[in-house]
């Protein structure tokens, strides 16, 4: 056996130790499935000599779960085979737990997904009391469900309502929380105490039939909170699917399948419930949405966290003191993000009053947490103490990193760069939090352009996980690596891109909002555009987003772009969407939410509503439209731009593209991101649809030979 070891000691303790060859973790690979079968058959043969069974791990973690690379290779035709595999694994689990011998799971580290389902074989579960260890069932977050017994067992342990956060919402928990929930029976201080405790427990329960039987297999078992026929439960179940659909828009099959498996399984016997669960899992495992989500939320996310976009051979780094220029919304948000991660922060603005106002943002955020009991006042005081507001540039002395977060104006950015850069600590570096202005141009104001980098945060900083790191023409590897480590130290997700106008995220996001504006200009009703976007899984419609980010900002960027093109002796051809937004600002005086109204009106104390004049100004009653075309235009336009960024070298990896598009600009999660959307459609089908859209709606959908080549070159292989 290559993935586990079996040992039957003279004292009658049979130990199964999971230890997959050549892997840092234990997974449910095909070899493990065969080994599990073999070890189960051996345990049955040795039954009379066995006093108890211990499940243990030789890795740092207990068990990691399913082999997701295998899932990526599956097709719809594999569903019956997948169902049979799942059932075989569960049959072996069932044999071990109904043998009449007490089974103990020794949890030395994380047990997630299939790993937690392996842990649930044990009648008695002992864990190391370390708050960093995580248990739970995160399958729904990657488009699957806990089909190795996770749904059936958690519902029977916690009840339908009690299990919901852990099964349907994928809430993870540490050993102490597991102990409180009754999911873990004992906690020990260190891993070396697991086996002695397991043996002691087995010795103490000899002769007790209940100790070797799960609660649901006992005659007196009742489901906590009641079954679906209980009136209290039934009332909630009537509305549950509708509530779920408002969250998922029907685009994510996994939560719906999970809810169905929970409720259906709670109405039948244990073995039937397990079979129901297997059927739902098999159908999800061969579905395109699961592949999209596994690709991005597992493989791509791990690629970023493990530093695949970070320049190699640069020592790890965490700055102790960071300066921020500009205490507006972005600067204040960055200050909070740093202070909450133990980084001393100097928040500089033109007046102390403005700097204090920036610090007050952290006071506001932490106060709401204190009021809800999520933070103690002592920690709040410590966090606020790490932010020093100032109007004196000299207070920046000794900062290892200074980030300018001032208004999007080249001259202003150059001025503050030259003023603050000399105060950096030796070996320090400088960053600009610009969202559109090319970094190489901004770096011209620096004495050391190789130590100048773009660090583009998204608003609001405290909620947005993504940070875009932009490498200028002269930025060196050490600076990019340090910026990457700084972003990870904030608990955020860094993507690394090369310099260009708008970089990756702003440039691609611009295509989304401008395609929406173009459709409005064509006469399609605004409400149709907005609703079609949300139904496709985009968080907000393009017109609402333009209002939030300010139409005037888009016009400012347009003016700057025209000026830059003119300086190079070229003429910038504005798109129809850009021209419509320009008209909204310059002619109709509708600059966005902050200015009192844009595409929407914002009545005081009331809900925002579309500006009624849009109907008169833009709607054309005879114009033909259908929802699928509108949705395709919004999604395909962004994917085309992403492919262009790969072809031009602005992006250098698919994982940066997918994570950047989902976490930065709200590309729908069910697609797996802007590049995975292409691969999910099939490259040929994507190209054909682009050609049709280009014929009808212009060059925004045209794929150049270079873009087509980039799509094929970067296609992931599993």
Give DSSP secondary structure letters for 457-517.
Answer: E-SSTTT--EEEEEE-SS--HHHHHHHHHHHHHTT-EEEEEE--TTTTHHHHHHHHHHHHH
Beta bridge pairs of residue 195: none
Q: Is 433 helix (H, G, I), strand (E, B) or coil?
A: coil
pLDDT-derived band at 492 (thresholds 50, 70, 90) equals: very high
**Residue 201 falls in which region: left (phi positive, over 0), alpha (psi -120 to 50) or beta:** alpha
Q: Is 535 exposed, middle or buried (0-12, 13-18, 19+ CB in 10 A)?
A: middle
Residue 550's Cβ-side half-sphere holds a number of Cα atoms within 13 Å equal to 9
CA 448 centroid distance within chain: 35
pLDDT digits over 10-21, tens only?
Answer: 999 999 999 999
Q: Is 456 helix (H, G, I), strand (E, B) or coil?
A: strand
User: Is this prediction's pTM over 0.85?
Assistant: yes
Mean pLDDT confidence for 432-454: 95
Residues 6 or more apart whose Cβ sits within 8 Å of residue 700: 511, 515, 575, 637, 640, 694
Say how far apart CA 487 and CA 663 lie, in whole Å: 14
460 upstream amide cis, omega within 30 of 0 = yes
Q: CB 448: neighbour CB atoms within 10 A?
A: 15
Mean pLDDT confidence for 560-581: 93
Question: Please, are residues 599 and 546 in contact by the beta-carbon 8 Å criterion?
Answer: yes
Say how far apart CA 286 and CA 78 lie, in whole Å: 7
φ, ψ of residue 652 to 5 degrees: the values are -120, 0
Give the pLDDT of residue 238. Answer: 86
H/E element, 112 = strand 111-112
Say how far apart CA 605 and CA 225 lie, in whole Å: 41
Question: Please, are residues 657 and 717 in contact by the beta-carbon 8 Å criterion?
Answer: no
Beta strands in 359-451 (DSSP E): 387-390, 399-404, 424-432
Beta strands in 240-331 (DSSP E): 321-325
Residues 6 or more apart whose Cβ sits within 8 Å of residue 81: none
pLDDT-derived band at 408 (thresholds 50, 70, 90) equals: confident
Mean pLDDT confidence for 489-501: 96
pLDDT-derived band at 410 (thresholds 50, 70, 90) equals: confident
Composition of the chain by helix, strand, coil, percent to 5: 55, 15, 35
Give the pLDDT of residue 451. Answer: 98
Give the pLDDT of residue 249. Answer: 94
- Sign of the dihedral through C-alpha 262, 265, 270, 274: negative
CA 600 centroid distance within chain: 30
pLDDT digits over 617-660, tens only?
Answer: 999 989 999 999 999 999 999 999 999 999 999 999 999 999 99
Say how many residues make up the chain.
718
| β-pair type (493-498, 135-136) | unpaired
φ, ψ of residue 188 to 5 degrees: the values are -125, 160
Largest CA distance in the chain: 91
Give the pLDDT of residue 192. Answer: 97
Question: Please, are residues 639 and 686 in contact by the beta-carbon 8 Å criterion?
Answer: yes
pLDDT, the chain, mean: 96
Give the pLDDT of residue 603. Answer: 94
Question: Please, are residues 550 and 593 in contact by the beta-carbon 8 Å criterion?
Answer: yes
Say how far apart CA 155 and CA 158 lie, in whole Å: 5
Mean pLDDT confidence for 83-104: 98
Q: Which residue has the tokens 């709200």?
A: 666
Say how far apart CA 257 and CA 373 lie, in whole Å: 35
pLDDT-derived band at 435 (thresholds 50, 70, 90) equals: confident
Q: Is the pLDDT of residue 312 over 90?
A: yes
Q: CB 398: neighbour CB atoms within 10 A?
A: 15
Q: Which residue has the tokens 């200028």?
A: 472
Catalytic residue among 20, 117, 186, 515: 117
Give the pLDDT of residue 553. Answer: 87
Instruction: Note if 568 is an active site residue.
Output: no
Q: Is the pLDDT of residue 452 over 90?
A: yes
Question: DSSP code of 704?
Answer: P
pLDDT digits over 348-385, tens only?
Answer: 999 999 999 999 999 999 999 999 999 999 999 999 99
Say how far apart CA 148 and CA 90 lie, in whole Å: 6
Beta bridge pairs of residue 228: none
Q: Is the pLDDT of residue 423 over 90?
A: yes
Mean pLDDT confidence for 410-418: 95
CA 422 centroid distance within chain: 38
Q: Is the pLDDT of residue 501 over 90?
A: no
Residues 6 or more apart whose Cβ sits within 8 Å of residue 556: 408
End-to-end CA distance of the chain: 25
Give the pLDDT of residue 84. Answer: 97
Say how far apart CA 555 and CA 561 lie, in whole Å: 10
Q: Is 38 helix (H, G, I), strand (E, B) or coil?
A: helix
Residues 6 or more apart whose Cβ sits within 8 Å of residue 204: none
Catalytic residue among 20, 139, 277, 641: 139
Question: Please, are residues 450 and 474 in contact by the beta-carbon 8 Å criterion?
Answer: yes
| Among 132, 128, 135, residue whose Cα is nearest residue 187 | 128
Beta strands in 508-611 (DSSP E): 600-601, 609-610
Residues 6 or more apart whose Cβ sits within 8 Å of residue 92: 36, 37, 40
Distances (CA, A) of 164 to 118, 186, 245, 272, 301: 20, 24, 16, 20, 25
H/E element, 66 = strand 65-66
pLDDT-derived band at 502 (thresholds 50, 70, 90) equals: confident
pLDDT digits over 268-288, tens only?
Answer: 999 999 999 999 999 999 999
Q: Is the pLDDT of residue 670 over 90?
A: yes
pLDDT-derived band at 244 (thresholds 50, 70, 90) equals: very high
Question: Please, are residues 526 and 599 in contact by the beta-carbon 8 Å criterion?
Answer: yes
CA 689 centroid distance within chain: 29
- Alpha-carbon dihedral 535, 537, 538, 539, rounded to 10 degrees: 90
pLDDT-derived band at 436 (thresholds 50, 70, 90) equals: confident
Instruction: Note if 411 is an active site residue.
Output: no
Question: Please, are residues 546 and 554 in contact by the beta-carbon 8 Å criterion?
Answer: yes
DSSP string, 312-328: SS------SEEEEE--S
Question: Please, are residues 545 and 513 in contact by the beta-carbon 8 Å criterion?
Answer: yes
């Amino acid at each position: 056996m290559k993935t586990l070891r079996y040992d039957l000691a003279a004292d009658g303790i049979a130990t199964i130790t999971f230890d997959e060859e050549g892997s840092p973790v234990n997974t449910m690979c095909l070899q493990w499935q065969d080994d599990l079968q073999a070890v189960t058959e051996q345990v049955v043969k040795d039954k009379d000599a066995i006093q108890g069974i211990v499940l243990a791990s030789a890795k740092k973690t207990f068990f990691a779960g399913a082999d997701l690379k295998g899932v990526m290779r599956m097709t719809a035709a594999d569903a019956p085979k997948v169902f049979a595999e799942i059932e075989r694994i569960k049959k072996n689990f069932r044999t071990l737990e109904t043998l009449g011998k007490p089974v103990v799971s020794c949890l030395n580290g994380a047990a997630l997904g299939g790993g937690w389902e392996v842990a649930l074989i044990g009648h008695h579960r002992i864990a190391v009391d370390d708050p960093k260890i995580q248990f739970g069932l995160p399958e729904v977050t990657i488009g699957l469900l806990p089909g190795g017994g996770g749904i059936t067992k958690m519902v029977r342990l916690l009840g339908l309502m009690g299990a919901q956060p852990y099964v349907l919402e994928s809430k993870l928990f540490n050993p102490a929380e597991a102990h409180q929930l009754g999911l873990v029976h004992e906690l020990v201080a260190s891993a070396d105490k697991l086996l002695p405790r397991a043996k002691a427990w087995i010795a103490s329960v000899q002769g007790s039939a209940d100790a070797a039987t799960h609660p649901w297999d006992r005659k007196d078992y009742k489901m906590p909170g009641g079954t679906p026929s209980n009136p209290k439960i039934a009332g909630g179940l009537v509305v549950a699917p509708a509530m779920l659909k408002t969250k998922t828009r029907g685009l994510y099959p996994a939560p719906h399948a999970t809810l169905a498996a929970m409720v259906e399984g709670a109405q039948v016997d244990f073995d039937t419930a397990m079979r129901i669960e297997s059927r739902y899992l098999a159908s999800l495992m061969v579905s395109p949405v699961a592949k999209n989500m596994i690709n991005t939320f597992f493989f791509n996310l791990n690629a970023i966290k493990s530093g695949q976009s970070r320049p190699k051979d640069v020592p790890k780094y965490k700055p102790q003191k960071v300066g921020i220029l500009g205490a507006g919304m972005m600067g204040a948000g960055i200050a909070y993000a740093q202070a909450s991660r133990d980084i001393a922060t100097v928040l500089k603005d033109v007046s102390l009053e403005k700097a204090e106002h920036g610090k007050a943002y952290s006071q506001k955020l932490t106060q709401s947490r204190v009021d809800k009991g999520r933070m103690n006042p002592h920690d709040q005081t410590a966090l606020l103490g790490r932010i020093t507001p100032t109007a004196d540039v000299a207070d920046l002395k000794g900062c290892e990193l200074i980030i300018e977060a001032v208004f999007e104006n080249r001259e202003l950015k150059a001025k503050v760069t030259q003023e603050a850069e000399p105060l950096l600590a030796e070996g320090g570096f400088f960053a600009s939090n610009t969202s559109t202005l090319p970094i190489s141009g901004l770096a011209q104001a620096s004495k050391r352009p190789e130590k100048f980098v773009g660090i583009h945060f998204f608003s609001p900083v405290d909620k947005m996980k993504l940070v875009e790191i932009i490498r200028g023409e002269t930025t060196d590897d050490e600076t990019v690596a340090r910026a990457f480590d700084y972003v990870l130290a904030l608990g955020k997700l860094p993507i690394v891109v090369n310099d260009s106008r708008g970089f990756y995220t702003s440039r691609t996001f611009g295509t989304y909002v401008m395609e929406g504006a173009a459709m409005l200009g064509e006469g399609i009703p605004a409400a149709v555009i907005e609703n079609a976007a949300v139904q496709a899984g985009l968080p907000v419609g393009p017109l609402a987003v333009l209002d939030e980010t300010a139409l005037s900002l888009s016009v400012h960027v347009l003016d700057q772009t025209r000026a830059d093109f003119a300086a190079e002796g070229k003429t910038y051809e504005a798109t129809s969407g850009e021209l419509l937004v320009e008209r909204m600002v310059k002619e109709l005086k509708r600059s966005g939410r902050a200015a009192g109204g844009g595409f929407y009106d914002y009545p005081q104390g009331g809900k925002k509503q579309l500006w009624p004049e849009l109907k008169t100004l833009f709607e054309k009653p005879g114009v033909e439209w259908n929802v699928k075309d509108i949705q395709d235009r919004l999604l395909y336009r962004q994917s085309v731009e992403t492919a262009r960024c790969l072809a031009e070298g602005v992006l250098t990896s698919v994982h940066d593209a997918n994570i950047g598009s989902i976490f930065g600009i709200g590309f729908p999660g069910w697609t797996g991101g802007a590049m995975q959307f292409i691969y999910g459609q099939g490259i040929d089908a994507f190209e054909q649809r682009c050609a049709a859209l280009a014929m009808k709606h212009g060059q925004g959908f045209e794929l150049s030979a270079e873009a087509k080549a980039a799509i094929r070159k970067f296609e992931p292989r599993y």
